[in-house]
Amino acid sequence: MSSGQNNAEMIDFGGMIRDAVKKWYVFAISVAVCVGIAFLYSKVRNQEYLVKANMIISQEDDTSPAASLAGLGSLFGSSANVDDEVFAVSSHTVFKSVAKELGINQRHVTRTGFLQSQFQYTDFPVALKCDPSIPDTLRTGLSFKVVADADGDVSVKVKARREVLADVKNARFPVKVATPYGEFTLEKTAYFPEDEKVKTAISLMGYDDAAEMIASKVEIDIASRKSNVIELELESTDIEYAKDVLNAIIEQYNLRGLEEKNARNLKTLKFVDSRLALLGDDLVDSEANIESFKKSNGIVDVEAEATYQITKKGKFEEELVAAETELEIIKMIKEFLANPENRYELVPAMLSEGNQQNGAIAGYNELIMQRITLMQDAHGSNAALKGLNGQIDALRKNILQTIDRTYESTQIKVRDLRAGMNSTESRLGNIPAQERQYRDILRQQTIKEQLYIFLLQQREETSMMLANSQLKGQIIDEAYALNEPLGMGRMMLLAIAFMLGLAIGVIYLYLKKLLRNKFESREELEQLTQVPILGEMCTDHSGNALVVRESGSTSAAELFRLMRTNLQFILNGNDDKVILLTSTISGEGKSFISINLASSLALLKKRVLLVGLDVRNPKLAEYLGLPSAPGFTEYIAGDRYQLSDIIRKNAVQPGMDIITSGPVPPNPSELLNSEKVDHTFAELRRMYDFIVVDSAPVGMVSDTFSLTRISDATVYVTRANYSTMKEVNFFNSIYRDARLKKMSLVVNGTHSQKGYGYGYGQSSKN
């Protein structure tokens, strides 16, 4: 890769910096606007603080006394699922209770200064009162704008969804306002500033909307995946408000959990009491039967009399009692499950330890507990509830079928034991029939006593659970605020605004440069073309066509002198005298450059001739204030004038002669292609040291291309902030095709004020 290509691909940071310095006002405006906005924002904004609270979800002990009732174990607590508890803490019901408790369905914002307003949680100046039923049913937010002047006159405007519902003027506190949603009363509070103008806005929403507002602002999450700690966060301008909200959320969550837990325990207590009542009646009947049997058979001391026989058949009796107890329990559970009223009630798992039905009943009770929890917030149409009901029904059906089979097998076991005991008793012929009947009655009583004692124990344990209910969410940290406010400080904000202003200025200039289709400077043009640049010319505001004079020392004159020096390197032959000036389109300053370049050459004490050959749109005579006739076209077209007749000696300054274009001919192309033009320039070459030809723009007509035969070099004029990329591409193609001799560029209309380092051969590739 050549060095020229490397230079082209390098980013010209110096040029970029110079361009930025030239456009300093863009950065000044951008920085001023950004810093101003940041300063105004820092003055009117209210600092927000982050308030946090932490609680841990307690893991309830599965080995509590109530756990002996295996099937009811889920009633007395299980390992907390923290993900589910996060959902419970952030439930709509909890947030709605918080909104009711704190009254935050009302929001008070009071004007405190120019463009400044302050949210007021408790110290608001005006209180809004209404019927308590309105927030329960309100589905549309209401806005009350209250203005009270120093004289005590009050104006109130009520809106709902931009619709004005009421507009009260010149009233006095308390103000009653009637709306389609009900009547509202506005009263002064202890914080109302007397003898001052008060502007405050009160937003009233329903409790449901307030709950949604809390949900949108409060962040609730698990501290880490391996912990049971739940973090609550809220950002607010009022620290006390945020603290109250977070503490109230924890309180309402715990109250709801306590009510749920007590409800479960009360259901268990109700079930146990009902079974105790039935067993109590059975025990009374059993004791009456024993008393009646003893009286009718004359038995006094049955136990002393039967001791000897019981020793022999003790084993059978012990097993029979256990089997019949199991049979009775299975019968109770079977009746309980078969009862439609107990469809979604917890099943007491009172089977003996190791019975395979305990696991199924425990799973069934777990589903019932899930249904009880889901019913707190769900309705009958809830898809999850329907699915859970289906699981419960299917499991209950399976349990019933299994219990039926267990009941039948237990009956067989009882019959087998009785048969074995009867076989033993048959071998003991000395045992009276009355004794056998008495033992049967006594055995039934023993079974009922054991069940009765067991249920009494469960009732006491359940009562203890009710009396000692523990909160599920144990508070680790009550709500507290971080010391530092959220967001950036004023100095940081202003610093960022300053940097942003600079960045916006850079982006603006870059986009402007990217989107425009014109070049701005010589340096930029050098990146777009390989045509050598002869020099550049700054914008001249004098209004004179001739700026290069013998005594002149302006920036424009200096730039033309540098241009003249570079031109002498191009005209390196003894007979190189004719300099053709052209451009792409009119307005690029071709004639201005022609006049002053010729004047600059004349200051070298050389014989210089300026020829106007832009015969279609002649401007040379007009710019210099000379008569247009006789001119070049009249001389070429006929024999009326001699060459000396059209040459104006020392027309604008000594040593600089001028030939004007003359009238516009009907056939300019044919005229310029005539042999007389060649003869004329051959003669002029003998008369002058330099001949500067102001020709037509090549992008508009082809006249200039026909004149290249009589020229030795071409100065192509382009203009910054005027010539488009289309013109640049055009003269690049001319240069590549070598359609003009020794072509070089002059950049007109730049911001250069003094020439520096111009040299022939510089291009965008150098």
Lowest mean pLDDT among 123-127, 151-155, 506-510, 639-643: 506-510
Residue type, 740: L
The confidence score (pLDDT) of residue 202 equals 92
- What per-residue confidence (pLDDT) applies to 11? 53
Whether the CB-CB separation of 94 and 260 falls below 8 Å is answered with no
Residue 377 has pLDDT above 60, yes or no: yes
Confidence band for 736, pLDDT divided at 50, 70 and 90: very high
Q: For residues 691-712, give the mean pLDDT.
A: 88
**What's the sign of the alpha-carbon dihedral 381, 385, 386, 392?**
negative
Confidence grade of residue 246 (pLDDT, cut at 50, 70, 90): very high
In the chain, the amino acid numbered 286 is S
Mean pLDDT of 400-418: 83
Q: What is the pLDDT of residue 79?
A: 40
Q: What is residue 8's predicted lDDT score, i.e. its pLDDT? A: 41
Q: Flag whether pLDDT at 173 surpasses 70.
A: yes
Confidence grade of residue 418 (pLDDT, cut at 50, 70, 90): confident
Average pLDDT value for residue range 344-373: 73
- Residue 761's pLDDT band (cuts 50, 70, 90): very low
How far, in Å, CA of 97 to CA of 103, rounded?
Answer: 10
The CA-based angle 34-40-46, given to 5 degrees, is 125
Q: What is the pLDDT of residues 554-603, one digit of tens each?
A: 778 888 888 888 888 888 877 888 999 999 888 888 899 999 899 889 88
The pLDDT value recorded for residue 2 is: 39
Cα 19 to Cα 721: distance, rounded to the nearest angstrom: 14
pLDDT of residue 766: 26
Angle, helix 92-102 to helix 239-297, in steps of 10 degrees: 110
Predicted pLDDT at 184: 93
The fraction of the chain above a pLDDT of 90, given in percent, is 17
694 pairs with which residues across the strands?
Answer: 581, 612
Give the integer Cα–Cα distance in Å for 395 and 393.
6
Which among 346-350, 382-386, 761-765 has the top mean pLDDT?
382-386
Model confidence at 205: pLDDT above 70: yes
Looking at per-residue pLDDT, the higher value among 121 and 59 belongs to 121
pLDDT, residue 215, reads 92
Residue 59 confidence (pLDDT): 62
Give the residue, 254 or 719, on which the prediction is more confident: 719
**Among candidate residues 340, 629, 732, the one with its CA nearest the CA of residue 620:** 629
Distance (Å, whole) CA 589 – CA 722: 10
pLDDT reading at 758 higher than 60: no
Q: What is the DSSP letter of 518?
A: B
pLDDT at position 186: 92
Tokens of 213: 């507002």
Is residue 643 within 8 Å of residue 635, measured between CB atoms? yes
Global confidence as pTM: 0.48
How would residue 85 be classed by pLDDT, with cut points 50, 70 and 90? confident
Mean pLDDT score of the chain: 79
Express as a percent the part of the chain with pLDDT over 70.
82
> Given this model, what pLDDT does residue 151 score?
79
Going by their DSSP bridges, the two strands 743-750 and 713-719 should be labelled as: parallel
Can you give the residue ranges of every domain in the chain? 23-47+487-515, 106-205, 258-472, 522-750
What is the CATH architecture of 522-750?
3-Layer(aba) Sandwich (3.40)
**Residue 717, pLDDT score:** 93
- Per-residue pLDDT at 71: 40
What digits encode the pLDDT tens for the residues 216-226? 999 998 887 77
